[in-house]
Structure 1
Amino acid sequence: MHELIKGANVGLTTLSESVDSVIVSLDWTSPTGEGDADVSVLLLNADGKVRSDADFYFYNHPVAPDGSVQLLGKTPTGSGNQDRISFDLTAIPDDVDRIVVAASRYRGAHFGELDDLQLTLADASGESLLRFAIEDAGQVSAFIFGEFYRRGGEWKLRAVGQGYDAGLAGLATDFGVDIEDDAATEEALDPAAGDEVAGEEGAEGAPLTSPADDRAAPAPQVAPLEAIPAPRKPDEAADGTEGAQAAEPRKASTRPRTARKKVTLPKAAKKSLAENDSWKGARLFPVSALKSDRDREMRATSVLLSVMAQIPEFGRRLTAAFGAPAGRMETFTEVSLPHGDTPRRPDGVIRVERAGKLWTALVETKTNGNALKAEQVQAYMDIAARRGYEAVITLSNDVALEGSPLVDVRIDRRRKHKVALWHLSWAEVAHQAQMLIRHEGVGNMAHAWLLQELLHYLQHENSGCHGFQNMGAAWVPVRNGIDDETLCQGDPRALEVVESWERLIRQVCLRLGGELGQKVLPVQRAKRGTDPGVRRTLQADQLCLEGRLQSELRIEGTPGLVAITADLRTSKLRTSVEIPAPEQGYPLTWAKRLVRRLAEAPADLHVETLVDGGTGGPRGTLERLRPEPADLLPKNGTQITGFRLSLLKGMGSSRGNAESGFIRSVDDAVHRFYATVVAHLDSPPSRRPQTTTA
């Protein structure tokens, strides 16, 4: 891998022959695992300014209409995050001279608090090409990692490493973006108050589209899978009487706002015209006729690929991370391709045309609990290499883990043409559909309705597209070994259970994130560079010793990490969150306010006061504390550092996804804890970046 130092540059064609589409990744870690930043991209002309505000891509405007830029979101890496951006360099307009890749922090945080900052570049096949490691970013809240620029018809990358202390808004205005900074809209810059347009009656509960793209129409009204409330405004009481004036509709601004848009879930669907519940609405993709696994695979593949081809936003979202360019997409099923004496029939083919060039991927699909077959995938890799195709995409209910491939295939490095192997889970497909329908919006009402039909199909019990649904053959032996204390460290079955647990947690994050329209990510507390296999082995040893599986989730807009503990000895699931004590006010006021916030929480919610020094503070159930919030205060006047809220419930025993299964119980526990507890807590302090005029 090529290493860049600050100020150095390199031509992309000297690194790889496949650089029409590239993926830029920005990485960082923090000692607590909670430090984070947000990426942004600016397209600049020869004068060093954006051509218009639409050339500013960030969390409120993540995708270019032509697909040239797409923010792909975060993935957890050890004790930090990796934020990825897809660039289709062939689609960048000719009058764009430079592309700036930056990131920003908020709430007074700065990049000097983060460790292991780096920029990496990968080509269309996923192969890493270069790295730019940043030693000392300094006390700045915005940072330019690097920039692409044109020289002699070729794209080059320069390692910039320059900081800004004016935050994202200051960075954007320096490059000519007209940021919304009117004092009258100061409250609108608060993500807790957010853009209220999404909740107006006239929008029928549709989410806002990108502020810089007025062409996108709102999505239709969609009933959520579960009634999960959106996070409450900081000044809104549990009875909804406070903060009423802040809820009045505002006119949407055409200028970018550097505070995140508020996520407002759609209202319930209108009352049905059916005479009774036995009447079932007509569906575009029926599932009643599916009788066999082969029928399910063929139907699911055809349904998904047809929707991808008809809805550019959706098709692009699923293929951009795989190196596909932006362009006209066509999809095919049951294509016969020669392979030795017996032709092969992949489940599907995706082709994208851009500037007269074709990008092609073969698709292999599995539904229900069926596993991918290494021999089958290997054959498709060989066919793709011979025919000059770019990728093979596998699609199943399983979830791929870092460093643990679902199928082992042999890649011939001697071939000039490289074929990339990628994996999608059905849960990820459903998540991306939810994000478009309920949060980001699509091009028109027909597309939104089509996506909703796809989502209904994927979530139907007969479709076979239910996501990860089996803890594996090792689940029962490991549970029995923990019960009778015969499970020893180093047992490979414990490692299998840890891998299944990690897959389950990733799927829980996808489902909850799709419901909320917000990022939900698992937190991995491990040192950067730690081999994923080594990390899982340590977790397996811990499972053998303590009999517990543990994970943490970071839910955007919440005051703390949500911890999940499955105690296999007691068959109990614990979900909890720690919230810091306010910086101002009196402890009794904090306790009363917390109890008032939890008016709709279950009576058996455990509330524990966290005190300075780590010694145990007062604790009790919410039922006992409601009439006497003062019982949360330490008797000796010890300083309060925060509160821990926990819910306990029984754990499913079976390894499958049945009503009484372990997977269902974990999913239900996390959704219930968020809906009844976390959603009613104060959000973190507002993002109010200092704005300047250009």
Structure 2
Amino acid sequence: MYEMVKGANVALAALSENTGSVIVSLQWASQSGEGDADVSVLLLGENGRVRSDGDFYFYNNPVAADGSVELLGKKPTGEGSEDRIVFDLTAVPPGVERIVVAASRYGDARFDELDGLRVELADAGGDDLLRFTIDDAGSVSAFIFGELYRRQEDWKFRAVGQGYATGLAGLATDFGVDIDDDAPVPEGGEDLGDGDDARPAGTGEAPAAPDASAPRGAGGPAEASAPAPAGTAPGQAVPPAVPAPREPSGPPAPATRAPRPRTAKKKITLPRTVRKTLAENDSWNEARLFPVSAVKSDRDREMRATSVLLSVMAQVPELGRRLTAAFGAPAGRMETFTEVALPHGDSPRRPDGVIRVERAGKLWTALVETKTNGNALKSEQVQAYMDIAARRGYEAVITLSNDVALEGSPLVDVKIDKRRKHKVALWHLSWAEVAHQAQMLIRHEGVGNSAHAWLLQELLHYIQHDNSGCHGFQNMGAAWVPVRKGIDDETLCQGDGRALEVVESWERLIRQVCLGLGGELGQKVLPVRRAARGSDPGLRRALMADQLCLEGRLQADLRIDGTPGVLTLGADLRTGKLRTSVEIAAPDQGYPLTWAKRLIRKLADAPADLHIETLTDAETGGPRGTLERLRPEPGDLIPKGGAQITGFRLSLLKSMGSSRGNAESGFIRSVDDAVHRFYATVVVHLDHPVSRKGEPVAA
């Protein structure tokens, strides 16, 4: 991977031959688990400013109509989380000369509170091409990581590293985006605002451009005496290292502007309430587009599930694009096929499905291999499809199963012939992720028309049906019982490979729990990585395996957008108990007794056995008790001896399932139930922080 320094630039063609589509990842970590940021993209013309407000892409405008830009959202990494953007460089309009890639924090949060800031770029095949690590972000609320820019017909990437103290609204305004933060938000729209960082409109003040002589925030322009960056030909003019907006050279923009980016297009979602049925009784089964009653064998399930998913992907562009964009597919006309015969040796191979996307006369093709129930992917089968794809010039092989891929640990091992000029990317998709994306579209984000919403609902009903075989991760593995037994009789030793297998299964389970809860809430739910900066996924899992052997416990932290703290889940295999908890900070103002009374009032509908513990600055800890006992006497939460209250910890305990599967009495089901119950009965009653749009986040 090409390592970049601030101010350097490099031609993408020098790093890969497959850069028609690229994925840019912005990454960061936080030891508290609560640090987060949002990516944004600005398309700039020759004058260094956006051509219109539609050239600004952020959390409220994530997709370009021409497919040139798509914000894919966050996913967990070994150290924290990353926000990804896919760029189809072949679809970028000719009038766009530069693409600025930035991120912003909200409220009083600043980038110097985050660790491991970096930007990485991968080609359409998933190969990592370059990395730019930022060590000096500074106390700024918006930050430009880098930019893509044209030189003749080629694209280059520049490592920028410039901070903005004025937040997302200030950054966007400086590049010509028209933002009116005093205007009311229309129905179906969301406020762009960055809280106090937003600039008021109607003041008559021109937006301030970055000072070329001094850094703005933490970053600043490169020194004039700096050597020419790598990738610059002799005699070639070096573009400015910091994409500071330039004064427009053409006539002034007309007074009438396009709809401002803060106004979201209203799309169709399905109501949560179920309409009253016209059936005479419960025995009447509603007719379904995708019936499951006739599915008998595993082969039937695989064929039916593949056909159902691929057909909906082709007919509902929102779902098809969402599931394939992360795999390097361009935005274009999609067609899908099943049971296609492809030559391979003496007998043809039949992949479960084929996805083809056409754009500008070019084809992107992926072979699909599907598994349902507990069936595992077979390495030799996937290897054969990789070889076929390489010979035929296809771009990808996509595996689809109930398993969840782990970072740095592929589900199947395949050999890549590096002598071949054409590279094939191997991607994995879990059925849980398909269900999550369908639920997000039809319940929260919306789709283009009612027919698409109905198709997605039928897809979701099918893959969530017990007989479909698309149940997601549902087995803790063969090591689960021996590890539990070894913990009970204290014979499990550090270094036992079975403990590592259980830790990997735990990580898959937590990822699936996040997908399920996030789909229901319409919020981002991500595992929090508290590992030390620089640790790799393998090392993190090894440390967790050692902890499991020594303490008999598994633990995970979940960050849910719009909640006041990190949700912690612990499984104690010695006692057979699950503990879900959240810590909330003490208010900045008021009296401790007022805090305690207010907390008890807010938890009026919470379970009586909820444990509440007062957190203090003293080593001995604070008072604790059940909600049932504290309701008549909230003052019992006030510590004696003058210790200062720093916050409160709320916890629920429940017995965990013993079996390794997903049955009613299984461990997987008990973990999922524990997280959902804690959120629905405890977290939902707590004060929610102000959102990045400047409004309270609804539960």
TM-score in same-fold range (> 0.5): yes
Provide the residue aligned with 1:229 in structure 2. Answer: none
* Letter paired with 1:354: R
1:5 aligns with 2:5: yes
Write out per-residue CA displacement over residues 18-44 of structure 1, whole angstroms, 9 at most, x where no aligned residue: 001000011122333332211111112
Change (3 A) 1:188 1:463: closer
1:236 aligned residue: none
Q: Partners in 1 of 2:298 and 2:474 — Cα distance?
A: 16
How far did 1:344 drift? 0.4
Q: 1:626 aligns with which of 624, 628, 631?
A: 631
Q: Is the 8 A contact 2:63 2:69 kept in 1?
A: yes
For 1:192 and 1:418, locate their aligned partners in 2 and report how far apart those are by CA, in whole Å: 42
Aligned to 2:472: 467
**Paired residue for 1:214?**
none
> TM-score scaled by structure 2?
0.87
1:82, CA displacement in angstroms? 1.3
In 1, distance between residues paired with 2:588 and 2:487? Answer: 44
1:453 lines up with 2:453 in the alignment: no
**Deviation, structure 1 residue 183:** 6.7
Aligned 1:105-504 pairs, distance under 5 A: 105-182=105-182, 189=191, 254-257=259-262, 266-504=271-509
Q: What amino acid is aligned across from residue 33 of structure 1 in structure 2?
A: G
In the TM superposition, what is the alpha-carbon distance from 1:188 to its structure 2 partner? 7.4
1:663 maps to which residue?
Answer: 668
Contact 1:167 1:689 survives alignment (8 Å)? no
Q: Would you say the 8 A contact 1:520–1:554 is kept in 2?
A: yes
Whether the aligned pair in 1 keeps the contact of 2:562 and 2:691 (CA below 8 Å) is no
How far apart, CA to CA, are the structure 1 residues paired with 2:193 and 2:519?
19
Unpaired segments of 5 or more residues in structure 2? 196-257
Q: Secondary structure at the match of 1:509?
A: helix
Does the 8 Å contact 1:180/1:256 carry over to 2?
A: no
Question: Partner amino acid for 1:584?
Answer: Q
Rounded to whole Å, the distance in 2 between the matches of 1:267 and 1:422 is 33
Change (3 A) 1:644 1:658: same
Match status 1:516 vs 2:521: yes
Kindly state the Cα deviation for residue 686 of structure 1 after the two structures are TM-superposed: 4.8
Q: Shift in Å at residue 275 of structure 1?
A: 1.4
* 1:178–1:255 contact (8 Å) kept in structure 2: yes
Partner residue, 1:104? 104
The answer to whether the 8 A contact 2:661-2:667 is kept is yes
Choose the corresponding residue for 2:611, options 595, 606, 610. Answer: 606
Q: CA deviation at 1:615?
A: 2.5
The reply on whether 1:579 has 2:584 as its aligned counterpart is yes
Alpha-carbon deviation of 1:518? 0.8
Quote the sequence identity (%): 81
Structure-1 residue corresponding to 2:227: none
Instruction: State the alpha-carbon separation in 2 of the partners of residues 689 and 655 from structure 1.
Output: 44
Instruction: Return the match for 2:555 from 550, 556, 563.
Output: 550
CA separation of 1:566 and 1:109: change in aligned 2, threshold 3 A:
same
Contact 1:489 1:544 in 2 (8 A): yes
Which residue in 2 is equivalent to 1:53? 53
Q: Structure 1: state its 5+ residue gaps.
A: 194-252
Alpha carbons of structure 1 residues 185 and 639: separation in structure 2 relative to 1, 3 Å: farther
Give the whole-Å Cα distance in 2 for the aligned partners of 1:522 and 1:276: 43
Aligned CA RMSD, in angstroms, stands at 2.2
How far the C-alpha of 1:77 sits from its partner, in A, is: 2.4
Q: CA deviation at 1:350?
A: 0.5
Alpha-carbon distance in structure 2 between the residues aligned to 1:433 and 1:311: 10
Give the Cα–Cα distance (whole angstroms) in 2 for the partners of residues 669 and 371 of structure 1: 28
Displacement of 1:69 after TM fit?
1.1
Q: CA deviation at 1:529?
A: 3.0
1:620 is paired with a residue of what secondary structure?
strand
Query: Given that residues 574 and 647 in structure 1 are in contact (C-alpha distance below 8 angstroms), is that contact kept between their aligned partners in structure 2?
Result: yes
* Of 27-36 and 545-554, the range deviating more from structure 2: 27-36
Q: In structure 2, what is the equivalent of residue 14 of structure 1?
A: 14
Task: Quote the residue 1:596 is aligned against.
Answer: 601
Distance in 2 (alpha carbons) for counterparts of 1:78 and 1:572: 27
> Is contact 2:194-2:694 (8 Å) kept?
no
Question: What is the aligned partner in structure 1 of residue 645 from structure 2?
Answer: 640
CA displacement, residues 75-131 of structure 1 (integer Å, 9 cap, x when unaligned): 222342211111111111122221110001112121122222111110001101111
Report the residue type matching 2:671 in the other structure.
V
Per-residue CA deviation, residues 53-88 of structure 1 (Å, 9 max, x unaligned), is 222111122122222211111122234221111111
Q: Secondary structure at the match of 1:617?
A: coil
TM-score by length of 1: 0.88
1:615 corresponds, among 620, 624, 627, to 620
Q: Match of 1:508, SS?
A: helix
Amino acid in structure 2 at the alignment position of 1:380: Y
Alpha-carbon separation, structure 2, partners of 1:24 and 1:118: 11
Residue of structure 2 equivalent to 1:81 = 81
Q: CA deviation at 1:171?
A: 0.7
Aligned residues: 629
2:228 match: none
Q: Distance in 1 between matches of 2:365 and 2:184?
A: 51
Query: Following the alignment from structure 1 to structure 2, what is the Cα–Cα distance between the partners of residues 272 and 526?
Result: 51
Secondary structure of 2:623's aligned partner? strand
Report deviation, 1:257.
3.6
Mapped partners of 2:292, 2:627: distance in 1: 45
Distance 2:191 2:73 in 1: 22
CA offset at residue 272 of structure 1? 1.3
Q: Give yes or no for contact 1:169–1:258 (8 Å, CA) kept in 2.
A: no
Match of 1:240 in 2: none
Q: CA deviation at 1:191?
A: 9.4
Deviation at 1:331, TM superposition (A): 0.4
How far apart in 2 are the matches of 1:686 and 1:471? Answer: 37
Residues 218-237 of structure 1, C-alpha deviation per residue, up to 9 Å, x if partnerless?
xxxxxxxxxxxxxxxxxxxx
Instruction: Answer whether contact 1:36 1:80 (CA < 8 A) is retained.
Output: no
Partner SS state of residue 291, structure 1:
coil
* Contact preservation (8 Å) 1:189, 1:257: yes
**Structure showing greater Rg:** 2
Partner of 1:27: 27
Cα 1:540–1:265 shift into 2, 3 Å: farther
8 Å CA contact 1:258, 1:689 repeated in 2: no
Kept in 2: contact 1:653–1:661 (CA 8 A): yes
Aligned equivalents of 1:143, 1:661: Cα separation in 2: 46
Q: Secondary structure at the match of 2:579?
A: strand
Q: Measure, in 2, the Cα distance between the counterparts of 1:177 and 1:139.
A: 24
- Residues 111, 192 of structure 1: alpha-carbon distance in 2 compared, 3 angstrom cutoff: closer
1:22·1:88 contact (CA, 8 Å) conserved in 2? yes
Alignment partners' CA distance in 2, 1:610 and 1:123: 48
Q: Deviations over 1:216-268 (max 9, x none)?
A: xxxxxxxxxxxxxxxxxxxxxxxxxxxxxxxxxxxxx9533499x9xx99541
Q: Secondary structure at the match of 2:622?
A: strand
CA distance in 2, matches of 1:395, 1:514: 19
Shift of 1:525: 1.3
Letter in 2 for 1:671: H
CA contact (8 A) 1:29 1:78 kept: no
After superposition, the Cα gap between the structure-2 partners of 1:344 and 1:137, relative to the gap in structure 1 and judged at 3 Å, is: same
